[in-house]
A and B are shown apart, each in its own frame.
Chain A
Amino acid sequence: MENWYWMTLVVLIGLTVRWTVSLNPYSGAGKPPMFGDYEAQRHWQEITFNLPVKEWYFNSSDNNLQYWGLDYPPLTAYHSLLCAYVAEFINPDWVALHTSRGYESHAHKLFMRTTVLVADLFIYIPAVLLYCYSLKEISPKRKIAVALCILLYPGLILIDYGHFQYNSVSLGFALWGVVGVSYDWDLLGSLAFCLALNYKQMELYHSLPFFCFLLGKCFKKGLKGKGFVLLIKIACTVMASFLLCWLPFFMEREQALQVLRRLFPVDRGLFEDKVANIWCSVNVFLKIKEILPRHIQLAISFCLTFLSLLPACIKLTLQPSSKGFRFTMVSCALSFFLFSFQVHEKSILLVSLPVCLVLNEIPFMSTWFLLVSTFSMLPLLLKDELLLPSVVTVVAFLVACVTFFPLCESTSEAQLQLTSFAVSVRRRLPGFTFLPRIIQCLGISCDTDLHILIRRKHRWKVCHADNCAHEENGFQMVIFFPHSDDASISQRTALGQEGTALHFKLDYSSTKIPV
């Protein structure tokens, strides 16, 4: 590759930004008694290092599950164990049972930040580079641009290196999965995705597209011949990798069930804090949490999620293609985020990853979504005192995208890949010709959040989440269509209408559009 040095520079820039952000405070720094996610990760190291595997997920005198009990799948626990060994080598106090609770020091912060960087460097960044190399039909320059923009995505950097989490591991594995299945290395892809799923159960957001895509591939090859063999192979790979990850927990039935209970805490409620999804937005008008009983909430959210992701999944199964796969990933992840039960604001990262992957196809929409997604986490970032790095990284990302992708000029229907959608709407609404302009203005409506922030300080969090949700909702509606033909278009339009309505309301209220 002639342009290897540009890729090196891109990686170096990405690493520099990551490390400089990591100099900022982490979540719960100096805030006893519960601290934050940083302490959670350190606590997991302590637990996994000092207790036998059997006790990791059980409440005991040594393992108080109320205090940051382990609630991620086994691979996270193994990773914590690995880090704990290194920590113990450097300073045993860091992982001493009980006494290390709430341990904070500069050296320890440095160590924890380094573990994130190392994980990122070995899993996420190579996956991004490989993905960008694998992109077809674009110039090497453009590949580098895409790589830079993906590596500069502020949401992931701020949560992993500011707030403190290891999202880059699970997302990195998922990305390895994407690369694998796009290259037709299906077994490797499914293995990587199983690892992602076993690192963080939230990766379920991405599971359906993987399933449908691989199933579709098998169908395409003919279920009676090669396709069947492939299906068996994939199934074996998945089973084997799961078995391997869960080996210590399969010894006893109670063990496995307890882990599952820890992973899916249904009793936590429809949503927490201020999440930019449907439930939180509807909550402004209608207090669903109080009106409906818990099991009905669960049923409604399940049905809505299922319905909203169905069309895209069916299409992908029938017409598996690498591009369609990526778009379906966006659509499915967004459905989960918007409609499913117990969503965290950080889960938006799971949507952002596939959106990063379509950055090259629909630069304007992706950039806009990625900015909004970062903005939707602002309350969290403010709590962690990460305002300055947030603003800086967001602006840096915006500058990178604006420099490399001609954003403002490429908002015509065709360039947004919305032609078929617009045509189908025009069949019913002949006057529907102003879509591009709306979309341009939507970019501006990101700003309205800021106005809301200034004007209504006491309620801004709700409004903030609400506004972000509208924008994401609109995005989902749009994302449905890029690869569409007429097959299931009416179904989709019906689904999108709610989003459209919200969308338009928002636009007309927040910006003046010359019609």
Chain B
Amino acid sequence: MAAFSLAASGGHWFSALALGVTLLKCLLIPTYHSTDFEVHRNWLAITHSLPVSQWYYEATSEWTLDYPPFFAWFEYVLSHIAQYFDQEMLNIHNLNYCSSRTLLFQRFSVILTDVLFIYAVHECCKCIDGKKTSKELTEKPKFILSVLLLWNFGLLIVDHIHFQYNGFLSGLMLLSIARLFQKRHMEGAFLFAVLLHFKHIYLYVAPAYGIYLLRSYCFTASKPDGTVRWDSFSFVRVISLGLIVFLVSALSLGPFIALNQLPQVFSRLFPFKRGLCHAYWAPNFWALYNALDKALSVIGLELKLLDPNQIPRASMTSGLVQQFQHTVLPSVSPLATLICTLIAILPSVFCLWFKPQGPRGFLRCLVLCALSSFMFGWHVHEKAILLAILPMSLLSVEKAGDATIFLILSTTGHYSLFPLLFTAPELPIKILLMLLFTVYSVSSLKKLFRKENPLFNWMETVYLLGLGPLGVFCEFIFPLTSWKLKYPFIPLLLTSVYCAVGITYAWTRLYVSVLTGCLVSKTKKQ
């Protein structure tokens, strides 16, 4: 009856949406979980049974602690609750331990920490313009946004099936974005600093935060044409911002500096020994690059331009090996990817600096940073696409052009997560959830922007519809063919290349729209 009074009074639709998705998460408890489940169990064990000085040295399990200190402390706190569920999961030597109580505890820890995400979504909804208020509740941007975020397909399968804690981390990011929208800059900066020390992958979007805060918060005024007024620089603000970031970092890294372990911590956090691409190529620029290389080498062999003896074996047999060696195109070093990433990020950051357009401009820059890093980063995981999809949802409900980009990005990005779940019982779940999210996002955004031009041109429609046959081929037809044993990597290759095209397209379109927006407003002012 508690739900009775809760839902009947006031907040109704939002709480119903949140409660509904929480219940769905509970239903996903018995599904398959990946090795990440063991990773987090191992971290619980490490933080619970070892002193802080040992955390980043412990290597009994191959899944060593490779998240920043705050996450380790988070696991430490969780482990104190975990001991009431099952003491055995906190034993470091209990590798691959998974009792039903352990499962329940770990799953519920994800579901409960998602409360922060729900709160963040609630805050984000307040930042959305209510200009287009339609009478229908389901056509309000707020409603659509909260469904897009709360019921996000990627978060559901990555967190609640595959097993990770992206929910509350994304919640922190969204909350800090919401705070910046609400002009509570200090809070936003604090939240982001904390977030960085939870998971360092958010460094991808740090440039956007840095530039935005510096430009729009530390400089209190702009000239009429939008350029910076150097005399409006506020030292108090810079110092207070710096202090916040410094204090948070000190709290996080301080103990390890005191123990003289900083190099060890960093070596764990940034393992450059891994390959350019993950086992399954994330659908980014390098996937296209690898595919091109492979195609060229095949063509070269056919035309007898290449000597078969000089071609490394591994690259020809599968895409599943960690170290991918290029045959025709030059091999890529970590430094090269770093430079590419920086070059890709720079224009958006420049745009943010020279043409600040308030928090919305910042959000665009943030999405571009996330996407550019995803496109060119070293050893990118396919899951990192969520970093761009979630903030992009905020933009999608405000402008038709952004809605198109969002739909292409989210549909292809989510589809590229399919290989994460490869077990048969989860096949219907991923298809159903994907359909649920895609059908909803496409039709609700179409309805929201029905007065403007159609969201997709024919090319985009064909591309998106092409995901259907691709899915059918990879999931149903291919396993029945005789190629399954000979070329097991083909579905992965097809998926990542096909999705890479879509994501590259979405990235380009977003970049074009940001840069033209930047230039147009400049010429207008002149």
Which residues of A does B touch, CB under 8 Å?
5, 8-9, 12-13, 15-17, 19-21, 23-24, 106-107, 110, 117, 388-389, 392-393, 395-396, 398-400, 402-403, 406-408, 443-444, 446-447
Give Cα distance in the complex from A117 to B13, angstroms.
30
Give Cα distance in the complex from A514 to B30, angstroms.
45
Per-residue interface assignment for chain B, residues 5 to 33, with 1 indicating a CB less than 8 Å from any chain A CB and 0 otherwise: 00110001100100110011011111100
**B425 interfacial by beta-carbon distance below 8 Å:** yes
Which of A389, A395, A447 is most buried by chain B, counting CB atoms within 10 A of its CB?
Answer: A395
Shortest B259–chain A CB gap in Å is 43
Whether B425 lies near A110 (C-beta < 8 A) is yes
**B260 interfacial by beta-carbon distance below 8 Å:** no
Known: A19-B432, A396-B20. A444 touches B1 (CB 8 A): yes
Closest to A444 in B: B1
Shortest A163–chain B CB gap in Å is 15
Interface of B: prevailing SS: helix
Which residues on A sit within 8 Å (CB–CB) of B443? 5
Give Cα distance in the complex from A13 to B16, angstroms.
14
Which residues on B sit within 8 Å (CB–CB) of A447? 1
**B433 interfacial by beta-carbon distance below 8 Å:** yes
Whether A16 lies near B1 (C-beta < 8 A) is no
Whether A399 lies near B1 (C-beta < 8 A) is no
Which of B16, B29, B425, B443 is most buried by chain A, counting CB atoms within 10 A of its CB?
Answer: B425
Known: A388-B29, A395-B23, A399-B3. A12 touches B435 (CB 8 A): yes
Give Cα distance in the complex from A8 to B90, angstroms.
45
Which residues on A sit within 8 Å (CB–CB) of B16? 399, 402-403
> Could you say which of B1, B19, B20, B425 contacts A443, with CB atoms under 8 Å apart?
B1
Whether A399 lies near B30 (C-beta < 8 A) is no
Number of interface residues of B (CB under 8 A): 30
Which residues on B sit within 8 Å (CB–CB) of A16? 24, 429, 432-433, 436
Whether B26 lies near A388 (C-beta < 8 A) is yes
Whether A9 lies near B27 (C-beta < 8 A) is no
Known: A16-B429, A402-B4. 7 other contacts (CB 8 A): A16-B436, A17-B27, A106-B425, A110-B424, A400-B20, A402-B16, A408-B8
Whether B27 lies near A389 (C-beta < 8 A) is yes
Known: A5-B443, A403-B12. A19 touches B23 (CB 8 A): no
Shortest B102–chain A CB gap in Å is 15
CB under 8 Å from chain A, chain B span 27-43: 27-31
Interface of A: prevailing SS: helix
Known: A20-B429, A399-B16. A407 touches B439 (CB 8 A): no
Whether A19 lies near B1 (C-beta < 8 A) is no
Whether A9 lies near B439 (C-beta < 8 A) is yes
Which residues on B sit within 8 Å (CB–CB) of A398? 3-4
Which residues on A sit within 8 Å (CB–CB) of B429? 16, 19-20
> Could you say which of A12, A21, A402 contacts B7, with CB atoms under 8 Å apart?
A402
Give Cα distance in the complex from A17 to B28, angstroms.
9
Give Cα distance in the complex from A288 to B7, angstroms.
45
Whether B27 lies near A403 (C-beta < 8 A) is no
Whether B8 lies near A402 (C-beta < 8 A) is yes
Known: A395-B3, A402-B4, A403-B7. A19 touches B19 (CB 8 A): no
> Could you say which of B4, B27, B435 contacts A21, with CB atoms under 8 Å apart?
B27
**B440 interfacial by beta-carbon distance below 8 Å:** yes
Which residues on B sit within 8 Å (CB–CB) of A117? 428
Give Cα distance in the complex from A110 to B427, angstroms.
11
Whether A24 lies near B30 (C-beta < 8 A) is yes
Give Cα distance in the complex from A345 to B406, angstroms.
50
Whether A12 lies near B30 (C-beta < 8 A) is no
Known: A16-B432, A444-B1. A8 touches B439 (CB 8 A): yes
**21 pairs, A vs B, C-beta closer than 8 Å:** A12-B435, A13-B436, A16-B432, A19-B428, A20-B28, A23-B30, A107-B424, A110-B425, A388-B26, A392-B27, A393-B23, A396-B23, A398-B4, A399-B23, A400-B20, A402-B8, A402-B16, A403-B16, A406-B8, A407-B8, A408-B4
Known: A9-B439, A17-B27, A20-B28. A402 touches B432 (CB 8 A): no
